[in-house]
Structure formats: structure tokens, C-alpha cells
Structure 1
Amino acid sequence: MVSKSWLTKVTTNVYAIGSFAALAGIMFGFDIGSNSGVILTWQYREYFNNPSDLLQGGINGALSAGCFVGALFAGFPADRYSRKYTLMGASVLFVIGSVFQAASNGVPLLCVGRVLNGLSVGVTSMVVPLYQSEIAPKEIRGRIVAVQQWSITWGIMLSFWIQYGAQYSSGDSYTAAFRIPWAIQAVPAILLLAGMWAFPFSPRWLADQGRMEEAIKVLADIHGGGDINHERVQMEIQEIEAVIKFDREQASHRYADILKPQYAYRASLGICLQIWQQLTGMNIIMFYVVLLFEQAGIGSDQEATLVSAGVNYVVNVVMTVPAILWVDKWGRRNTMIFGALAMSLFLWVVGGLMSQGRWYQEEGSDRWMLEIGSTARANGMVACVYLFVASFATTWGPLGWIYPAEIFPLRIRAIAVSLSTSANWLFNWVLNFVVPMLMQRIRFGLYMLFAGFNFLMACHVFLAYPETKGFTLEEMDIVFEQNPRKKLDRAFVEAEMARRSGINDHRPPDADSTEKTENIV
């Protein structure tokens, strides 16, 4: 039997809390990975009568449509019922959706299951980074939230290879090729539902609900080894109390505050960042890489094409690790600018290589295929796709979740993150719907289009996004009052925070050391 003391150590460890909540990312990743491989198998195509490009876009887009609605309305339950209970409710919804997909006897039931899964993923994709950012100390906040993206990549990779094995189903049980991977999607949701009971509520949510004693206990457990008088714990308590007191004295209308100019600007940055993350083209590569390689003639048969695509998912998992380890040292701005420029370069090369091949239509079909012309050109194209994925995984993958979750004040954080995440899913739905058609209509021009988007997003980040690394959530008001291109002095921000809140300006001696913070947590 597991001792209570061991369980308490696990459920009060920042890394364990953040990692367990990130099981929700595996749920989303499982859907991407299983579906991206399934759509190429003969079993899927035969059972669902060879869906047209338009219908396939609609099937894939059903998930994103559900995600948009789920993310848009997740702010209310996250504020009303807590981040923790909202995650658990979303897990139940995902289990139901997975059962519907696995049992689907046609496109309508399949789409219903995907919409339900989408509602769940929309909620969790908004609530998990919010929860993680509110429990993590500032020095490793980026690292903790980045685990969400890493869990997505693990879900994609694992489910893809599960699907890869399931494709060998034949005979009367040939539908197992897609029913098995769709059913297995429910496993991480069941684990999240069963285990989340043991983990704490967000301390900032507790404080906002007037449950200050509970908030203090959680902060002490996760940041001070259970010691309420720990210097770091006392500083966080004072800052949280000061911010909540300010909100109350200003008679804040909470959600309506997002329309105020200073917060509307931040909301626009969060929304644009999530939209830009979609316009990198990464999720399209994840969903349709098998179709891309098939169209380009990469691999001699279906199995070789699937293996080439599967390597793509392994690259995604491995290259997210550097972001987890060093994003809190690299900072947000420079990481996003570098990543966008790198992705732009690799997509230009992919589009350029594809433009040099011979395009032709299959006999008896209106589908365009590519004869790429040489092994060297094919290998160069695959390499650039992998390098593009590596660039995204190290930069915009985790930053797309980290930045919006940390820039808003407590009173509007849930609704603001909800809006930005829903923008992500809206564009995800649009792209999933149109990309299969664009792959046939503009062919290599599709990759050049996304290359242009990546260059524009690098410019936008340079001009408008301030650096948030190393500042507490309560200090973001001060950060956003400065020039976004100006490198802020931490001492200035801390002194200004102390002046505004009436806190004695005394910081723990290890407050700016990631390594020492890790020893605390």
C-alpha cells in the first residue's frame, strides 16, 4: 500500500502537478496521431467509402469545431468550479467521444464523437496551461507549461505507431485498424479523471474565491516544503493579496475588464499568438503529413509512406525537450522570432523543391500527384519537413501555450486565455477544412503561403511582444506598461510592484535562480 507521506510528496511537487495535468495534452495528441495515420489506410477508406477532400476536411474539422466551442466557453466553469474540476469534467466528455468514434458505423457518428472529443480538448487546452502557470514559480513557469506541449507530441507519436500496428488488421476484423486507436484515446482521459482528485486546486483560484487559508496552505506545500513562513511563500501571498485587494477596491467587473484598453491590447496579443501558432502550418503537417508524402511520392508504398511520416512524430517529441529545459533561460521573444524565421526558411525550401517536380493527375481521378524527379530532391524535401517540425517543437509549440497563460491579471485570466485559445481552434478548424483542397488546388504554393505567414509573425513578435521571462504573474501589469522592445530590469519591476502594493521590497535571495528554485520545488 502506498504511504500517505509518499503520496503527499508527489501531489505537492510542482513538476508532478504540472505533468499530471498535462495528460490532457496526450488526449489531444492521441486524436491527431491516430487520425493522421488512419486516413491513409485502405481499411478506413473502404469502410467510409473513400471520403472526398471536402468530406475528409469536414471529418477532421469536426474536432476543431468542438475545440473552438469548448475553449470559448471554458472560462466560466474554470472560474466558477475551479481549474481542477473543469479538467475532470472534460475528461468524462473525452471518454464518451472516444467510445462514439470507436463504435462509429458511418461518418455521422464518427463526427459526433470527434465533436465531443473536440469540446473536451478545447476545454483542457485552455485550462491546463492556466492551471500550470498558476501553480509554478516564475523561474520555471515556462518549463512547467511546456510539458503540456511535450505531452501532445507524445500522444501524437504513440497513437500513430499504435495505429501503424493496427493497420495490419484484415478479414472480418479489418475495422480494428481504426477502432483500436480511436478506443485507446480514452485511456489518458480515464487516468486524468481518476488521478486529478489527489492534486491541489490552483492557489490563485482559491485566493480569488476568498479561500485564502487554503490558498496559503497550497502555496506552502508546493513552494515552501509545507512551511507557511517560508520567505518565498510569504512574498507570493503578499503579492496575491495585494492584487486581489486592488481589484476589489477598483470595483472590477471582471470579464468586462478585458475591454479596457490596457487589457484589450494584451488580449489581442494572446489571440494573435494563438492564430499565428496555427498559421505556422505545423498542425497541418501533423494532420496531413501522410498525404503530403503520398502526394510527393515519398516511399514506395503505403507502409513506407507511413514510416516516413512516423519519423516526423519522433522528431516532434525529441525536439520539444530543449524547450522544456531552456525556455526559461532563452526567454519568450527571441525564441519566437528565431523559430518563426527558421520555419519560414524550411517551408520555402519545401515549396521550392516541390515546384521543380512534375505534377500530374492520376488516371480516372482529379487528384494531383507529384513526381519529384530525383532521390536527392525527395530526401531534401523530407529533411526540410523534419527540420521545420524540429523548429516548431523547440519554439512556437510550447510558447503558443506559455505566453497567453501568463500575461493576464487574475480577474480576467480565465476568460482571456479562453478567448485566445478559442482563436487557435477557430483557425485550426478553418485550416483543417480547406487544406486538403488547397493541397490539390495550389499544391506547392501552400507551403510558400505558410512560409510567408511565418515571416510576418516574426515581425509582429519583434514589434509588439514584451519579454515575460522571470516575472511573476502579478508583475505583468508593470511589464506591459513598458516598451515591448525594451529589455526590462527585474529590480525595477520588483521595486515598482512593491511600491504599488505596499509590500516591503525584500526578495528571497534565490528568487532569480532557476537551479535554486528547482531545489525548493
Structure 2
Amino acid sequence: MVEGGISKADKTEFTECWRTSWKTPYIMRLALSAGIGGLLFGYDTGVISGALLYIREDFKAVDKKTWLQETIVSMAVAGAIIGAAFGGWINDRFGRKISILVADFLFFVGATVMAVSPAPWMLIIGRILVGLGVGMASMTAPLYISEASPHRIRGALVSTNGLLITGGQFLSYLINLAFTQVHGTWRWMLGVAGIPALVQFVLMMSLPESPRWLYRKGKIDEARSILGKIYPDEEVEDEMQALNKSIEEEKAEEGSIGEGGMIEKLRKAWSNDVVRRGLYAGIAVQVAQQFVGINTVMYYSPTIIQFAGIASNQTALALSLVTSGLNAIGSIVSMCFVDRYGRRRLMIISMFGIICCLVVLAGVFYQASTTAPGISKIESAHFGANSTCSAYVQAPDASSWNCMTCLQKATDCAYCSNGDNRVSSTFTLERLIHYTTKYGIIL
């Protein structure tokens, strides 16, 4: 709970946000410095998709074992789960500022470990460290912003964190594309991820702790001093009273839950109708958000594009900018209309669109996978001379090939061709799905 609550981020509030921030730049400094945590989360989501293309080239074990690719990608998510869980405890015990600093340290160390990794196992360790930092920062950043910003523009400032997440994803694809011609490719892509963490660490060292946390810990004078930098002098005492009222109400709610261990507190909290309904809504929304499949698309976007017949890493990364760009635009659209049309209506519309797209994709992939012919020299000979990649037919080690090998050897053949029609779109899609299924890129 935040004193005064988080007001709606409508058009008037965004105007007021701009006006207030112009008069008091310190407010925007607080919000943007903490918001880098969202940027870190978005950057991590997008950067591995491009780096994975080159990691597979350097480490043959990763190229041949899809479970190793999946482990490298997913360990950041596993680390984020743990980081978010422990982040809550660190927030309450040591403060929001300390939590962000620890997250930055973990992220910087993780990015460095990945950049110098001599083997896949070290990459996995680096991904876990990065995940721990991302988990802590992603849940602490909006909390710090909400507690260190004026109540009248709080909604607008907190919403910038979501924009920075999608902006970080778009930035990661740009960074990936910039390093495609540089020696070390993926090492630079992953290593550069430590720069935002370092920048945030330096910025946060000069910023104060959350005034709400300080007030709750009995450091009233420090809280008043910080509020004096955020609010006009004539409003400071009113905000102190609102802060006191909010914390007293929070303590009263905690008292209604009672003492005891964690299990006992959870049981009593669950018996509270308000808490239970809020928990239902919160869990349902978060689960739905993660299960729509956007993270899979963001993690494997360049790989998916390559399986559509684009062999070039650079081209695949460039085309992936469309996905991340639309994702960022979507967040801007939601910020503009969420308070005009409501959260529920926009969520229903977006979920309907997502379901339709997923059903179409599932139908196309299923149909193609059930009709795609087998890939071997025998099947190739059966379909006639040069009915598939000529380099594949003549290769002595064709059994070890994968889809990218064929594309890189003879890009003019696509997946299936013959003398009359060098590129058969039907077979191209079928080959795409066959290889996608066979090598487990999309599961």
C-alpha cells in the first residue's frame, strides 16, 4: 500500500507529470534511475535471442543439443523467480535502495561471466546470476518509483517502468545487430548488458532511500527531508500526515492477520476476503501474461525467422526488430488508452487477438508437421534428382546436418526445389515445420 494510492495515469496526469517534472527535475531523476531496472529486464529478454545464434556456432554441443539451448535461455527466468522472492525480503529488511544496488551487482557480475565464458556451463551460471538481478530489480523498481514520487503523478511515473521494459527489448535487438560484424559477437552482446546495471548502480548511490521505508523504520526526519525535495514546502506536512495515516492502516491490517510463523500468517491472510480476491486477480493476470507465449517469441525470434528460410544472422536479427518494435508500440498504446477504456476491456481485446493468432499458428504447424516428408538421402532420391538441397544429397556427413547447414550451403535451394521450380513454397513450409519439430526449437 502506498500513501494516497496510485492514481490513474490518464491524459491529464501525463500532462501534469511533464509540468511537475519540468519544475522539479529531481522527481524525474528518481523515476528514471530506478526505472533502469525495467530496462535491464527487457534487455535480458531480447539479447539472448540474437546471441544464441552465434553461441550455437561457437559451441557445437549447444547447436546439436536443443535441451542445452533451452537451459541457457531458461536459467535467467529460473534465477528471476528466486531473485523476486528474496527481493521482497531484502526490500522490507534493508530498503529499496539496497535491493536495487544488490540487483545491479548481480547483473553486472552475471553479464561479465557470460562474456568470458569458455564453455556452456559457465554461460548457464552467468544466466542464473543475471536472472537473480533481474528478478530483484523488476519488482523493486516500480515499488521505489511509487514510493518516491508525488501522488498526483504517481501512476504516470510508474507506467514508465513498463515502457522501459519493452524499450529494453527493442534496444537489445539493435545492440545485437550492431555487433554482428564484430569479433566476439555474442560475448559483446551479453557483456554490454552490464553497462545499464553499472549506470544504475552509480546513479542510485547518489539517491536517497524510499521515504516510506524510512518513515516505517522510525527515521522520520530523513523521510521529511526527502519529501521536501519532491513536494513544495507547503505540501510537505500534508504528505507526512498522509504517509503516517497510510502506514498506520497498513500496520492495523498486519495486526488483524496476527502473529505467528509464515504459514500461519498466510492462512489468516487467505481468510481475508479482500486479500483473497486481490490474490485471485493478481495471480490470474500474471499467469495469463506469461502463458500467452510472447517470451518464447522474444527469446527465439531470430531462430524462428531463420527456420522460415532466412539463413543470414544479420537479416534474421534485423527482421526481429519488427517484433520488438511492435511490442514497444503496444505498451505505448496501452498507456494512452488504459484509463480511458479500462483495464478489463483492453485485456479482453488483447487476449482475444492473442488466442486467434495462436490458434492459427497451431493449425498451420500441425498441418505441415503431419504432411511433411522425411528428410534423408532415400527420400531425396525418391522425389527425383535435386528434389532437395543438392549439397545435402552429395554431402558425406548429411546425417549430422540441420536446417541451417542446408541453408548456408545452398541458399538458392531453400528447403525443397526441382528443375522446374527452384523454390516450392509448399515444401518450404513443410520442411520448416519438420525441422522445427525435429530439432525442438519451438516446444
- Shorter-chain TM-score tier: 0.7 to 0.9
Of 300, 322, 325, the match for 1:288:
300
Cross-structure match for 1:398: none
Q: Is the 8 A contact 2:117 2:123 kept in 1?
A: yes
Cross-structure match for 2:333: 322
Cross-structure match for 1:246: 252
TM-score calculated relative to the size of structure 2: 0.73
Cross-structure match for 1:517: none
Of 212, 215, 227, the match for 2:234:
227
Q: Could you tell me how far 1:247 is from its partner in structure 2?
A: 4.5
Q: What's the CA shift string for 1:476-520, capped at 9, x where partnerless?
A: xxxxxxxxxxxxxxxxxxxxxxxxxxxxxxxxxxxxxxxxxxxxx
1:69 counterpart = 2:82: yes
Cross-structure match for 2:226: 218
Q: Where do 1:227-376 residues align within 5 Å?
A: 227-229=234-236, 233=239, 236-237=242-243, 239-244=245-250, 246-247=252-253, 250=256, 252-253=258-259, 257-259=265-267, 260=269, 261-262=271-272, 263-297=275-309, 299=310, 301-355=312-366, 357=368, 359=372, 363=376, 364=399
CA distance in 2 between counterparts of 1:248 and 1:61 reads 36
**Quick one: structure 1 residues 253 and 39, their matched pair in 2 at CA, closer, same or farther if it must change by over 3 Å?**
same
Q: What's the CA shift string for 1:168-219, capped at 9, x where partnerless?
A: 24xxx4xx11111111111000011000123332232223222234334434
CA distance in 2 between counterparts of 1:313 and 1:127 reads 24
Cross-structure match for 1:102: 115
Of 73, 84, 90, the match for 2:103:
90
Q: Is the 8 A contact 2:79 2:128 kept in 1?
A: yes
**Quick one: structure 1 residues 360 and 63, their matched pair in 2 at CA, closer, same or farther if it must change by over 3 Å?**
farther
Cross-structure match for 1:60: 73
CA distance in 2 between counterparts of 1:143 and 1:51 reads 47
Q: What's the CA shift string for 1:147-183, capped at 9, x where partnerless?
A: 22222222222222222232224xxx4xx11111111
CA distance in 2 between counterparts of 1:338 and 1:220 reads 43
Q: What's the CA shift string for 1:332-384, capped at 9, x where partnerless?
A: 32222222112212222333444555645555369789889759x99xxxxxx
CA distance in 2 between counterparts of 1:437 and 1:217 reads 64
Q: Is the 8 A contact 1:102 1:179 kept in 2?
A: yes
Q: Is the 8 A contact 1:83 1:131 kept in 2?
A: yes
Q: Could you tell me how far 1:143 is from its partner in structure 2?
A: 3.2
**Quick one: structure 1 residues 79 and 295, their matched pair in 2 at CA, closer, same or farther if it must change by over 3 Å?**
same
Q: Could you tell me how far 1:96 is from its partner in structure 2?
A: 0.8
Of 167, 170, 174, the match for 1:161:
174
Give the number of the structure with larger relative contact order, counting CA–CA contacts within 8 Å between residues 6 or more apart.
1
CA distance in 2 between counterparts of 1:281 and 1:199 reads 37
CA distance in 1 between counterparts of 2:142 and 2:365 reads 37
**Quick one: structure 1 residues 54 and 180, their matched pair in 2 at CA, closer, same or farther if it must change by over 3 Å?**
same
Cross-structure match for 1:125: 138
Number of residue pairs matched? 372
**Aligned AA (2:338):** V
Q: What's the CA shift string for 1:446-470, capped at 9, x where partnerless?
A: 6xxxxxxxxxxxxxxxxxxxxxxxx
CA distance in 2 between counterparts of 1:245 and 1:152 reads 33
CA distance in 2 between counterparts of 1:93 and 1:338 reads 38
Structure 2, gaps ≥5 residues long: 1-20, 377-398, 405-414, 417-422
Structure 1, gaps ≥5 residues long: 1-5, 379-435, 447-521
Cross-structure match for 1:10: 25
Cross-structure match for 2:395: none
**Aligned AA (2:437):** Q
Q: What's the CA shift string for 1:406-431, capped at 9, x where partnerless?
A: xxxxxxxxxxxxxxxxxxxxxxxxxx
Q: Could you tell me how far 1:126 is from its partner in structure 2?
A: 1.6
Q: What's the CA shift string for 1:42-101, capped at 9, x where partnerless?
A: x64233532411111111111111111111211111001101111011101111111110
Cross-structure match for 1:396: none
Q: Could you tell me how far 1:274 is from its partner in structure 2?
A: 2.1
**Quick one: structure 1 residues 113 and 230, their matched pair in 2 at CA, closer, same or farther if it must change by over 3 Å?**
same
CA distance in 2 between counterparts of 1:253 and 1:7 reads 46
CA distance in 1 between counterparts of 2:442 and 2:193 reads 34
**Whose Rg is larger?**
2
**Aligned AA (2:234):** D
Q: What is the identity percentage for the equivalent residue pairs of Structure 1 and Structure 2?
A: 27
CA distance in 1 between counterparts of 2:234 and 2:168 reads 37
Q: Is the 8 A contact 1:217 1:226 kept in 2?
A: no
Q: Could you tell me how far 1:321 is from its partner in structure 2?
A: 1.7
Q: Where do 1:202-213 residues align within 5 Å?
A: 202-213=210-221
Of 23, 26, 30, the match for 2:39:
26
Cross-structure match for 2:437: 440
TM-score calculated relative to the size of structure 1: 0.63
**Quick one: structure 1 residues 258 and 147, their matched pair in 2 at CA, closer, same or farther if it must change by over 3 Å?**
farther
Q: Helix, strand or coil for the counterpart of 1:199? A: coil
